[in-house]
Structure 1
Amino acid sequence: MKKLATFWMIIFFCGSLLAQTAKVPTDTIVRLGGKKIPCKVLNVSSSTILYSAPDKTESLAIDRKEIEKIIFKTGRVEVFNKPVLTMIQEGQWESILVTRDEKDTHGLYNRGVIKASSSPSNRSKKAAKQSAIIKLQKKAANLGGTIILLTKEESKGAYGDIPGFDLEAIVYGTEPLEKGTDVVDDKTKETPKK
C-alpha cells in the first residue's frame, strides 16, 4: 500500500512538472503612441512590418511609419521613428512658450516681469541664450504663466571670454491674478562677474 501511494505521488508530481509550460519570449512592437504589441516579427520590409500574434499563425501588417521601435526577443532593439511627442503637464516649465510678438499675448493676463542670466558654464552664445531662456521658463512656471514675452535681450562677453546672456520678459497667464495679489516685479540682483 505504501509503495502504491508513493508510486502515485511520483506520477502526480512528474505529471504536474510536465504540464507546466515555459513562457516563450516574444518580440515587442512599440507603436508611436507608446502602445506595446507582443508578437512574433515575421518580416521587416522598407514600408511594412509583418507580424503574428504569439499563439496564432495569421500574419498581420503594420506600416513602418507607425512604429517607434521593435524589441526583439534576443534583446536587440531596432529604432524606426522617434516618438511624436511627449506628454507635458500644464504647470511644467517645458510647456511655457517664448515669443517676441506682442500679438501672441492678446487676451492673456499679465503675471509679472522676470529676469534671468545664463549660467557661467556655457561655451557658446547660443548655449548661453538657451540657458537664460530655460531659467525664464522655470520662473514663469512658478508664477503660473503660459507664455513669456521677451522685452530685453543683452549679450555679454567679447571674443575669447565666457559668453553670457541677460534676458528680461513679461509673463502672461490664462487666469487673472487672485484678488489682493500684485503683479510680480523680479528684482533679483545680478552679481558682478570677476
Structure 2
Amino acid sequence: MNKKFLNLLIFTSIANIGFAQQVSSDSIFTKEGLILADVKEVTPEVVKFSYPAETVMNSIYRNTIEKIVFKSGRVQIFKESLALGEINSAFDFEKVSITHVESEIKGLYKLDEVFSKAVGTTTLSNITAVKERAFRKLKIQAALLGGNVVFMIDQNTVGNQYGGYYQSGKATETILTGIVYSNSIPKTEDVMALLNKQKTFKVFSSYYAGNNSTDVEGSSFIPDTFTAENFYTENGFVYINGQTEGNKNTVFKVVSFKNNQMILYWKDKKNAYNLTLELE
C-alpha cells in the first residue's frame, strides 16, 4: 500500500475518532460555564438532562442557559437568558429589567431587597414622569448590587391631590419595593483563590447613589489602595473584612469578579456604594 495513502488513512481515522468523541454529548452553555450532558427534554421552564454515563435526571432553568449545541449539530438559542443585560458597573443600570412574572426569576440568584420612592414637586407634577423616576432609582440600586433583574413585590402610585379651602394639596408619589436577582454571580472559589494570594489591591474607581438619587455619582475622594484582612462566605457570596483610606466601613460584599476587576458593595443609612479594585 502506498505510504502516503496509508498516512492519509490513519490521519482520517484519528480525525473521525476525535470528532466522534467531541459530539458524544450535548453541550449546554450557561453563564456559569459549559455542561456536557445528554439532554432529555426541553420544557417551557426547564431543560432536563443527565450527565454522560449516568441515568439520574437533572434540570436547569431556561433563563440560565444561553444555548445548547446538540450532538446532532443543531443549535438552540435561549432568548430568556440573552434578554438579560450584562451589568459591568453601576452605570449599566439602564440594562436592569423589571418583571412582575415570578417564572422569569426561577433559577436566578437572589441578591437583596430594594426600595425607592419618588414624589412630585407640585400638585401639577406629571404622574408618569414621577413613576419613571422611581423605577430609575430602583434600577440604580439593583446595578450597585450587581443585579440585572428586579422582581416587583409592591408598587403603589398615588395621583395628585388638589387642595381646597380647608385642606392643602399633595403631589403625586410612587413607592416601589422589589427583589434583585442576577443570572450570574462571582464564583466563590475564584474569589477565595485570589484572596488567598493577594491582600492589597489598587483602587480603580469609587461610586455611590443615595436613597433618593436618580444618578450614579463618583466619589470626590478615591483611595489609592484597599487592604483585605480576612474573608468569609455566606449564602454563596464572599464578604471581605478590609480597610481603605477615608472609609469607616470594614465589611464589603463581592458583587462582581470579571474583566480583571473586582467590585465591592456596602451600604449605610444614606447611600449604597461600589468600590472597584484592579486585579493583577
Q: Same fold (TM over 0.5)?
A: no
The structure carrying a bigger strand percent of its residues is 2
TM-score (norm 1): 0.45
Between 1 and 2, higher relative CO (CA 8 Å, sep ≥ 6) is seen in 1
- Give the greater-gyration-radius structure (CA): 1
TM-score (norm 2): 0.32
